Amino acid sequence: MSRTDLLFQITQIIKSRKFTTAQYLADRLNISTRTVYRYINELSVSGIPILSQTGKGYWLDQHFDLTPVHLSQEELLALSFGSKLVKCFADPFLADAAQQVLDKIEAVTPKSKTHFLNQIKIHAPVKVINNKTSRNLTLVRKAAELKLKVCICYEDQNQIKTDRIIWPLALAFWGKSWTIAAWCEKRSDFRAFRVDRMDDITCLKKHFVDEPDKNLESFVKQQNL
């Protein structure tokens, strides 16, 4: 969690409780009490009215509130529905991130509008992708971010399995399945691999660089996307 996120979370936790101890914050956020003291001091210096008393802990001045975010009904509905879709179709790390975004928006949204974030009239189905695809998504997404080569065993539409080393460039969701756009070393060409057909995924400790004819821009041009 970044420093900014920690400062925000500390403020929100203190705001939501009558009294909050440094040890509670440390346990909740998995940081040391020394770090809690430092961040509390930073928040106080920045103007957040955090009060404290030995034996009780910290609390916020009752008149303090975070600046509300003025989003329209449609914008809040879009955030609500979008987060539900991420939870259904993405890997668990992105699903958690989507919920954290909603929590942050809700914290600074006027109470008269927060029900739009928790609405159920525009809904998404329960989680659609299976555990295997979810794990695969996590691995290839992080590999693409870090530009790491990936070794996979891939099963094509004819159920023929081959071992490949790929350079993951981008992920795409097509409504029913995820694909990874990649440079395939075995074929010396671009390929789109279905994530649910991948087995034995290993992120290698080898980085790839964006070569002019092997990068995402070239893939897009080749596919006429």
Q: Give the pLDDT of residue 87.
A: 87
Are both 3-60 and 131-223 of the same fold? Answer: no
Q: Where are the domains of the chain?
A: 3-60, 73-116, 131-223
Q: Give the pLDDT of residue 122.
A: 80
End-to-end Cα spacing for the chain: 36
Assigned CATH topology for domain 131-223? SH3 type barrels. (2.30.30)
| Residues in the chain where the model's pLDDT stays below 70 | 65-69, 126, 225
pLDDT digits (tens, 9 = 90+) for 13-24: 898 888 999 999
pLDDT digits (tens, 9 = 90+) for 50-67: 999 988 999 988 777 666
Total-model pTM:
0.65
Q: Give the pLDDT of residue 68.
A: 60
Assigned CATH topology for domain 3-60? Arc Repressor Mutant, subunit A (1.10.10)
